[in-house]
Amino acid sequence: MIEKWNELDDQAVIASRALAMDAVQKVGNGHPGTAMALAPVAYTLFQRIMRHDPSDPKWLGRDRFVLSAGHSSLTLYIQLFFSGYGIELSDLKSFRTKGAITPGHPEFGHTAGVEITTGPLGSGISSAVGMAMAARYEKGLFDPDGKTELFDHNIWVIASDGDLQEGISAEACSLAGTQELGNLKVIYDDNRISIEGDTHVAFTEDVPARYRAYGWNVIEVSAKSNGDVDRDSLEVAMLAAQKEKAKPTLIRLHTVIAWPAPKAMGTAESHGSALGGDEVAATKIALGLNPEESFAVPEKVLLHARKVRDRGANSRKNWVLNFAKWEKANPDKALLLQRLVARELPKDWEKAIPVFESGKDIATRAASGKIINSLATVLPEFWGGSSDLAGSNNTTISGGGSFLPSTSAMNGANPYGRIIHFGIREHAMGAILNGIALHGLTKSFGGTFLVFSDYMRGAVRLAALMDIPSIFVWTHDSIGLGEDGPTHQPVEHIASLRLIPNFTVVRPADANETAVAWREVIRRGKPVGFALSRQNLPVIDRSCCASAEGVAKGAYIICDTESVPDVILIATGSEVHVAIAAAELLKAENISARVVSAPSLEWFEESDKSYRDHVLPPAIKARVSIEAGVGSGWYKYVGDSGEIISLEHFGASASAVELFKEYGFTPENVVAAAKRTISRK
C-alpha cells in the first residue's frame, strides 16, 4: 500500500528541482528547464505509479519507462538517484562529463534503469510503441488465455512538444491506435517552448483531437494557477490511465518550463542553457532552500524516497510467488520462457533452414522468404512484417495470423499474430523494431525496399548505437529492380549504410548464401540489414565452387585457381555470378582469376588478419571489385592498382538485363578491368 502523499514527498520534489539546476550549472551546459518542471511528474511516476524494483532493473514483470524527451535526461537520472538504482550525488555532480554514468542523453546499457537511448526527438515514443507490441506478443506466448497478470505491464512515456512534432511519432502513434495498445501510457509535456521559443510559431494543431482521431484515450490536466504542475490531478489521471486497457492513453499535461525560476520560467533560454548563478539562487529562495547550498538532499528525504525499493521488492516477491504457480501449471511455456530469458536458441534449430539446389534461379528476396518461414517453425519468438510491401519483401509468415487487436474486423486478425502490418511507415517501423528488441524476449524483422532505408536511417543508427538485434530486410537492392526506375533504384545506399559504426550489411550472392546469412544473423544477435535482390539469381553450383559456409566469415574464396592468381575479383550480391563468368573468360585466355564473394564486409573485418590475408593476399595487387552501387568504399580492398566497377550515377527505367549491360556489369567489362589492373603490376 502506497502511503499518502506527505511533506517529505514535497521536499523530494523541491530537491529534484534544485538538483536539476545544480547539475547543469556545475557543468555549464544542459537542459534544466524541463527537468525542473517535470520533477513532480517523474517523482510521482517512479514513487507511486510504476511497478519496478530498483534492486533488479531487469525484472521481467516491471513496467518500462521511456524518456522520449531525452534532452531532459536529468528528469530520469534524479529519479534513479532517489529510487536507489545506483546513481548517487557524485554522479549527478559529474553530469555530462567524460566517463560519467549520467551522460547528456540517456544511453541504453550504460546506466542501470535506462531502458532505451533517447535524444533524437520522436524516436523514444515510437520505440515505446514497439515495446507495447512486444508485451502483447509475449502475452500470447505465455498466457494466451489471459489466466494471469504476470505478463501484463505498462509502458510509460514522457514526451515533449518536439516529440509530437516529429513525423515518426505520428506514424507510430497512428499504428498504436490501430493496434489498441492499452498498455501504452504517454504523458505529453505541453509547455509550448522549444529552442526557437513559443512552439506556436510552427505547432498550432489540436493535439488531443489528433490523438483521439488515432483512437487514443486522451486525458487533459491543466496547470495550477501559479503555473506549477497540478500533481494531485495528474496522479488521478495516471491511475485512470492504468485502468484503460482498450486504448493507448495520452495525458496532456500543461506545464511551465523552468518553474519556479523568477526570470527563466516560460523562456526558451531555460530549455537548453544553465540558468546562471543569480537565477539559481533566486529560484532556491523561491523554493524555500538555502541559496548557498548545492546538491543538498536532506537525509530524511532520501531515506523516505528510497522506501520505493522496499515496495518494489515486495511487488517482485509477490510476482515471483505467482510466477512459481504459473511455472508449475505451464511447464512447456516455462521452458520456453527460460530459454528466451537466457537468450538461447533451441537445439538443432539451424537444421530447419533450407538448402537450395543448384541449376535453378531464385531471387534472394524469395529465398529469404522461404528461410523466414522455416525459421518460424522452430522459433516461436520470431515474428515480423513489412511496411506494406510484404508481397515484394517476402516477409509474411505463412499461417502466422495478422498481429491485430481482437476487435479488428480484418481477416486473419489475431492479437498474438506473427505478421506485423506496419503500414507505409518506414521510420516508425525501424523504431518499433528497436522497441521490440529492447523489450528483450523476441526476435523481429521489418522489410521495405532498400531505397527507402533513407526514411528509416535514424532508427537504424540508434539500433547500431544501442547494439540491439534489430533485423532490417531491404529488398530490390540495385538497378536490378529494373523498370521502376531511378526513384526506386538504390545507388548510394549500401555504401552509406556500411558507414554506420557497429552495423552489418549483408548482400548475399544466391539463395544458399542467404540461408547461411540468416543463420548467422539469428546466431549473432546484432543489428543488421539485408540487401536482397528483386531479380532471380542463379543458385551457384557448390560442387565446383566453395561452400556457402564462407558467408560466416563475411568474405570467402568462392572460386579459386590452381596456381597463384593473376588477379582477384571481389563481388557482392547479384554481381558474384558476373565475376564467376568473367573468371571463366579469363581462364580461356590463360589468366588465373580468384573470385571472392563478399556478402558482408563487416563480418570480414571481424575475421582475424591471417584469414583476411589468405582471402586477399597483400602481394596480389591486381584486383577488381564489382558492385552495382557507388564504389567509394572499395578502395580499401582494391588499392591504388585496382579497378572498381561501380555505379556513380542514378539508374534509369529499363529492364535489369539492359541496365546491367549498359552500365558495365558484364563479364566482358570485368575481363577488361582485370587486364588493366594486371598491367599495372
Q: Which residues are catalytic?
A: 426
Q: What angle do CA 423, 427, 430 make, to 5 degrees?
A: 90
607's CB contacts (< 8 A; 6+ apart) are 553, 554
Most distant CA pair in the chain, distance: 91
SS3 call for 217 = strand
Pairing mode, strands 593-597 and 413-414: unpaired
Which residue(s) pair with 414 in the sheet? 403
According to DSSP H, which parts of 534-655 are helical? 576-588, 601-606, 609-615, 635-638
Q: Retrieve residue 283's grid coordinates.
A: 529560484
Pairing mode, strands 382-386 and 402-403: unpaired
d(CA 139, CA 159) in angstroms, rounded, equals 26
Check: CB of residue 531 under 8 Å from CB of residue 450. yes
d(CA 158, CA 546) in angstroms, rounded, equals 53
Q: Estimate the share of the chain in helix, then strand, then coil, as percent rounded to the nearest 5.
A: 45, 15, 40
Q: What angle do CA 202, 208, 211 make, to 5 degrees?
A: 100
The number of beta carbons lying within 10 Å of the beta carbon of residue 638 is 22
Q: What angle do CA 170, 173, 178 make, to 5 degrees?
A: 125
Q: What is the DSSP string of 437-482?
A: HHH-S-EEEEEEEGGGGGGGHHHHHHHHHHT---EEEEES-SGGG-
d(CA 184, CA 425) in angstroms, rounded, equals 19
d(CA 446, CA 473) in angstroms, rounded, equals 6
Q: Is 192 left (phi over 0), alpha (psi -120 to 50) or beta?
A: left
Q: Retrieve residue 47's grid coordinates.
A: 514513487
CA nearest to 456, candidates 468, 447, 444: 447
DSSP 62: -
d(CA 443, CA 463) in angstroms, rounded, equals 14
Q: What is the DSSP string of 378-425?
A: H-TTEEEEESS-HHHHT---TT--EE--TT--STTEETT-SEEE--S-
